[in-house]
Amino acid sequence: MLEVKTPEEVLRLIEKVFYPADRSETVSLAEALGRVLAEDVSAEEYVPDFDRSTVDGYALHAKDTFGCSDAIPAILNLAGEVKMGEGAAVRVPRDACAYVPTGGAIPEGCDCAVMIEYTEDYGDGTIGILKPGVPGMNLIFRGDDVFPGKTVLCASRVLAPQDIGALAAIGKTQVSVRPRLRVGVISTGYELVPVDRKPGPGQVRDVNSPMLTALLKEFGAEPVDFGIVVDDEKLLREKTLDAAENCDAVILSGGSSAGVKDAACRIIGELGELLLHGIAIKPGKPTILGRAGNKPLIGLPGHPVAAFFVAKLFVLPLLARLEGRTLRSWPVRAELSESLNANHGRMQMNACRLAEEDGKLTAVPIRSKSGLITQLAGADGYLMIDRDCEGLPKNSEVEIYWQ
Ligand code: AMP
Ligand code: MG
């Protein structure tokens, strides 16, 4: 008999039993995308390092322009021009101004920039200012963006392209990140053949290894493929032990039910501690979780659809826990295109396609029996139906998870 836990209980168990490993490695900025920061990153420099103009116009002393207007411009002497990529060498005395391009350095003593649109070049070395400046107007001051000691990114952040930009701005050529988790993947079953073999009578191709490997890569882990193992308890034990010794986590798929041939549960119990056997979800009930120290040993159901959902819902959060990162997934709201039945006393997952019509997002459930890969092919995301819910009527608003 399986002792079934609810999804919430499983996620709580994961948080309680596993903990983030305190490990790090240094990578170059070019290799940092998608990696998990191991420590906070603080700036050591000022950005910008000089006062800059945010407009094309004239740097000047605001006082010299008080009260000016279209009718009575302030007439200032043109002291010179600031060039991009050069310091502000030009000296601007009172009642004078200097041309400054967007992003150019502001000459010392000037306290604002007036946009070129509000000025007039008289061509005789003087500039008419048609709108009064105010101190600070159109300027970014040194250190406005960041200053030495300011935390720019926090530990546990998964580095996105915009973070790489921020790191570049503060001159970080290297960052300290969590080592990628090595995750062993084993498929079990007499009937399985590798993708490149044509299945004989009663055989099917191994779907789970390539699928789980892809999921792990997308997550940022390093999958290690241990291939297909037939339903032989001794062989499977050896392979699982090998994977556990060489990886940070092991995922078996197939043979996870309570049948005589289903050895995964016994093996996980022998190699470590069995934590759970059975989650109240559909598909995906016969799921096993165990541990050898802080190493998760996971037994997924063989049905590819079930394996996919369990991996998404529980394995990825578990791996995230080992890295100390929080997985966030914001669903999109969509209108259900047709009614969906559910009456299982288990949370039900359903793959969907998303379609947009007249600016409205519609979720089209993909109907097929668990185990058929058509449910996964081309799915944009999935919805979850609560275990107490008896079904969803057509046009109801649903949340689609798609990350
Ligand atoms: P099991 O969990 O071993 O009882 O398998 C349940 C179903 O999933 C059976 O129809 C298996 O043939 C199928 N299955 C198990 N492992 C895989 C796999 N790696 N790829 C494709 N189908 C699988
Ligand atoms: Mg099997």
152 & 259 share domain:
no
Tell me the ligand closest to 302's alpha carbon. Answer: 1
The secondary structure of residue 22, as a DSSP letter, is: -
CATH number of the structural domain spanning residue 62: 2.170.190.11
Contact 129, 74 (CB under 8 A): yes
Residue 294 falls inside a structural domain: yes
- Ligand 2 is a single-atom ion; what residues have CB below 5 A from it? 189, 254-255, 302
pLDDT in tens, the chain (403 residues): 557 999 999 999 999 999 999 999 999 999 999 999 999 999 999 999 999 999 999 999 999 999 999 999 999 999 999 999 999 999 999 999 999 999 999 999 999 999 999 999 999 999 999 999 999 999 999 999 999 999 999 999 999 999 999 999 999 999 999 999 999 999 999 999 999 999 999 999 999 999 999 999 999 999 999 999 999 999 999 999 999 999 999 999 998 887 766 789 999 999 999 999 999 999 999 999 999 999 999 999 999 999 999 999 999 999 999 999 988 889 999 999 999 998 778 999 999 999 998 899 999 999 876 556 677 888 999 999 999 998 999 999 999 997 6
Residue 364 lies in a domain: yes
Q: Please give the distance, rounded to the nearest whole angstrom, from the Cα atom of residue 79 to the centre of ligand 2.
A: 83
This prediction's pTM: 0.91
Boundary of a domain, candidates 177, 194, 225? 177
Confirm whether 318 is domain-assigned.
yes
Both 42 and 82 in one domain: the answer is: no
In a domain, 350, yes or no: yes
Whether residue 382 is contained in a domain is answered as: yes
Using the mean position of ligand 1's atoms as its centre, give its distance from the Cα of residue 302 in Å: 4
Q: Are residues 77 and 148 both part of a single domain?
A: no
224 with 183: CB under 8 angstroms? yes
- Closest ligand 1 atom, residue 303 Cα: 8
Same-domain check for residues 75 and 38: no
- Atom of ligand 1 lying closest to residue 188 CA: 16
Domain of 234 in residue numbering reads as 7-23+179-323
For residues 214 and 97, state if they share a domain.
Answer: no
The residue whose C-alpha atom lies closest to atom 4 belonging to ligand 1 is 255
- Of all protein residues, the one whose alpha carbon is nearest to atom 6 of ligand 1 is 302
Same domain, 307 and 188: yes
Instruction: Answer yes or no: do 215 and 260 share one domain.
Output: yes
Do 185 and 310 share a structural domain?
Answer: yes
Write the CATH number for 171.
3.90.105.10
* Ligand 1 proximal residues by C-beta, below 6 Å: 187, 189, 191-192, 204, 206-208, 253-257, 301-304, 371
In a domain, 1, yes or no: no
185, 192, 228, 236: residue to mutate for ligand 1 pocket, most atoms within 8 A of CB = 192
Nearest ligand to the CA of 307 is 1
Residue 16 sits in a domain of what CATH number?
3.40.980.10
Is 388 part of a structural domain of the chain?
yes
Burial class of 193 by CB neighbour count within 10 A (0 to 12, 13 to 18, 19+): middle
Cα 254 to ligand 1 centroid, rounded to whole Å: 5
Are residues 214 and 259 both part of a single domain?
Answer: yes
Average pLDDT over the chain, rounded to whole?
A: 94
How many structural domains compose the chain?
4
Which ligand lies nearest to the CA atom of residue 230 in the structure?
Answer: 2
Distance 231 CA to ligand 2 centre (A): 7
